Amino acid sequence: DIVMTQSPDSLAVSLGERATINCKSSQSLFYSSNNANYLTWYQQKPGHPPKVLIYWASTRESGVPDRFSGSGSGTDFTLTISSLQAEDVAVYYCQQYYSIPLTFGGGTRVEI
């Protein structure tokens, strides 16, 4: 099974400041045949189901503000919120879809 490790577990960021969340996989998520990293980022607000933000490690889902960006390749990935807004308070999860079982990181709580 691919183990997904997120860091930090939580972080507090001032409004307008940058938030950076890391996700490390126990094996590469890069598939050379299509030159793609099988990594997604979700945002989950209290009392709500998760919402997809980024897929293929760096492709922003339609409707997601451009302050959210994803980067990385292979085993190391990053979600960046360039200028934190109050509505970004949430828990963020990475997920690999390279192999079964599909697995998630443990989550990172972002607070103001």
Of 18 and 45, the one with the shorter C-beta distance to other proteins is: 45
Distance CA 14, CA 69 (A): 18
3-state secondary structure of 81: strand
Which is closer to other proteins, CB of 14 or CB of 35?
35
In the block, tokens 């980067």 appear at 71
Encoded one letter per residue, x for contact with other proteins by CB under 8 A and - for no contact, window 23-62 reads ---------------x-x-x------xxxx--x-----x-
**Phi, psi dihedral angles at 98 (to 5 degrees):** -80, -35
Which helix (H) or strand (E) is 39 found in, with range? strand 39-44
| Residue 82 or 98 having the CB closest to other proteins | 98
Interface residues with other proteins (CB under 8 A) are 1, 38, 40, 42, 49-52, 55, 61, 93, 95, 97-107
